[in-house]
């Protein structure tokens, strides 16, 4: 099989592609050579989809870039993506013209190949193929963290009955070894300080500092092991409960069956809480879930209502909007933001930033 490599690297972009001849006559999958960042990327062209012969498929698998076979075997089950689905753009380009088709988050889905390797897949009509073309990928990193993914992102969900049992235990003041009581919106949760110290530097400093043990608890608490009372007034009960459940299970437990608005409010509140209390593990996982749910319909709301407060979130979502501007600007979410722009004090600043990303060669003078 004859193909040529096309590589392009910038500070915030890895781009690679492969020129392939006689595309319309290919019957079997074509595995292109791996492309290395901190991850080994494997791009495969499937001339036909298994279920639809009028469609072709591009798969992009991520493998550990380590040369250590033992480390590779371990990382196969816990690979961290430095890229989420909205940071991937796959494209096809005619080799002899400027005709190019780009496929962003709307067209790409996350896959797993059965060996523990995760990746991305897109499908497109075969009628868009020509005989000589380039198949390529643009990667925009957002840096989730270290080289091993947090188990809470990849691990299997904790069974619902165990979550239910754990919540009941957290509500029980007489549970074994619980010595911390959280008070949130008049509700109480009882937690082991050893868990808080293990999972959070913030609570570790709190309990190892000059913490005054509570002496004036109600009768039910005097008979228990409660030593410390933490009253939280700036986050709701569900958010604090999700934080504590994460400490115990390393799973992000948020009720996705709630209304869309309530679910996203809980998700953003949890990110804000993890940021305030320096809970890096939880913050990375919540960020993953935010980006995993980013789409053309909610991108504007995410940016203008929430993400503008945090540089890493803002940068990622602006990049997504720029890459998908033709869809985002026609979405209901963006039109709602536009109709109520006065409710968003950063509306002009953020829109200007998006505009300058779209037209970087232009310069403008703004009147204060």
**Which residue spans of the chain are classified as CATH 1.25.40?**
294-358
Of residues 261 and 36, more confidently modeled: 36
For residues 324-339, give the mean pLDDT. Answer: 85
Strands (E), 95-132: 100-103, 108-112, 118-125
For residues 111-115, give the mean pLDDT. Answer: 71
Reply yes or no on whether the pLDDT at 203 is more than 60: yes
Give the model's confidence band at 182: pLDDT under 50 very low, under 70 low, under 90 confident, else very high.
very high
Reply yes or no on whether the pLDDT at 164 is more than 50: yes
**Which residue spans of the chain are classified as CATH 3.30.710.10?**
156-287
Which of 1-15, 164-178, 204-218, 306-320 has the highest average model confidence (pLDDT)?
306-320
Domain 294-358 belongs to what topology? 1.25.40
Of residues 180 and 79, more confidently modeled: 180
SS3 string of 4-20? EEEEEEECCEEEEEEEE
For residues 41-68, give the mean pLDDT. Answer: 85
Q: How confident is the prediction for the chain on average, in pLDDT?
A: 77
Of residues 49 and 322, more confidently modeled: 49
Q: Please give the pLDDT value at position 156.
A: 44
Residue 31 is inside which H or E element, if any? Answer: strand 30-31
- DSSP code string of 50-93: SS-TTEEEEEEEEEE--S-HHHHHHHTTSBPPSS-GGGEEEEEE
Reply yes or no on whether the pLDDT at 24 is more than 90: yes
For residues 312-318, give the mean pLDDT. Answer: 86
Residue partners of 259: CB distance under 8 A and separation at least 6: none
Give the model's confidence band at 30: pLDDT under 50 very low, under 70 low, under 90 confident, else very high.
very high
Q: Please give the pLDDT value at position 241.
A: 93
Q: What is the pTM of this model?
A: 0.55
Reply yes or no on whether the pLDDT at 229 is more than 70: yes
pLDDT-above-70 percentage for the chain: 73
Q: Which two tokens stand for residue 212?
A: 């005054």
Q: Please give the pLDDT value at position 98.
A: 65
**Which residue spans of the chain are classified as CATH 2.60.40?**
3-149
pLDDT-above-90 percentage for the chain: 20
CATH class of domain segment(s) 3-149: mainly beta
Q: Please give the pLDDT value at position 43.
A: 94
Domain 156-287 belongs to what topology? Potassium Channel Kv1.1; Chain A (3.30.710)
Reply yes or no on whether the pLDDT at 83 is more than 80: no
For residues 264, 266, 270, 273, the Cα torsion angle rounded to the nearest 10 degrees is 120
Reply yes or no on whether the pLDDT at 9 is more than 60: no
Reply yes or no on whether the pLDDT at 264 is more than 70: yes
- Could you read off the pLDDT of 271-287 as tens digits, one per residue? 999 998 888 888 888 88
Distance CA 91, CA 114 (A): 25
Of residues 153 and 212, more confidently modeled: 212
């Amino acid at each position: 099989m004859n193909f040529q490599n096309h590589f392009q690297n910038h500070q915030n972009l890895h781009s690679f592609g492969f020129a392939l001849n006689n595309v319309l006559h290919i019957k079997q999958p074509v595995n292109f050579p791996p492309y290395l960042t901190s991850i080994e990327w494997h791009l495969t062209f499937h001339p036909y989809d298994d279920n639809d012969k009028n469609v072709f498929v591009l798969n992009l698998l991520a493998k550990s870039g380590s040369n250590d076979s033992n480390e590779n075997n371990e990382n196969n089950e816990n690979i961290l993506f430095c890229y989420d689905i909205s940071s991937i753009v796959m494209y096809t380009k005619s080799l002899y013209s400027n005709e190019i088709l780009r496929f962003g988050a709307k067209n790409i889905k996350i896959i797993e190949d059965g060996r523990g390797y995760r990746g991305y897949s897109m499908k497109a009509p075969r009628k868009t193929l020509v005989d000589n073309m380039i198949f390529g990928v643009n990667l925009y990193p957002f840096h989730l963290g270290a080289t091993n993914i947090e188990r809470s992102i990849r691990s299997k969900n904790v069974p619902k009955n165990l979550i239910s049992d754990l919540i009941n235990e957290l509500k029980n003041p007489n549970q074994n070894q619980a010595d911390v009581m959280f008070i949130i919106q008049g509700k109480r949760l009882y937690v082991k300080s050893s868990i808080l110290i293990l999972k959070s530097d913030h609570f570790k400093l709190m309990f190892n500092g000059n913490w005054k043990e509570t002496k004036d608890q109600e009768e039910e608490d005097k008979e228990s092991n409660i030593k410390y009372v933490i009253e939280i007034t700036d986050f709701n009960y569900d958010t604090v409960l999700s934080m504590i459940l994460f400490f115990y299970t390393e799973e992000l437990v948020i009720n996705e069956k709630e209304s869309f608005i309530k679910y996203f409010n809980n998700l953003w509140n949890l990110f804000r809480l993890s940021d305030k209390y320096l809970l890096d593990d939880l913050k990375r996982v919540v960020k993953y879930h935010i980006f995993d749910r980013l789409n053309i319909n909610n991108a504007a709301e995410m940016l203008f209502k929430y993400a503008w407060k945090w540089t890493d979130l803002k940068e990622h979502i602006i990049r997504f909007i720029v890459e998908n501007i033709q869809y985002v600007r026609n979405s209901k979410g963006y039109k709602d933001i536009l109709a109520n722009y006065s409710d968003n004090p950063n509306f002009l600043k953020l829109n200007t930033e998006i505009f300058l990303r779209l037209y970087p060669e232009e310069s403008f003078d703004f009147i204060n």
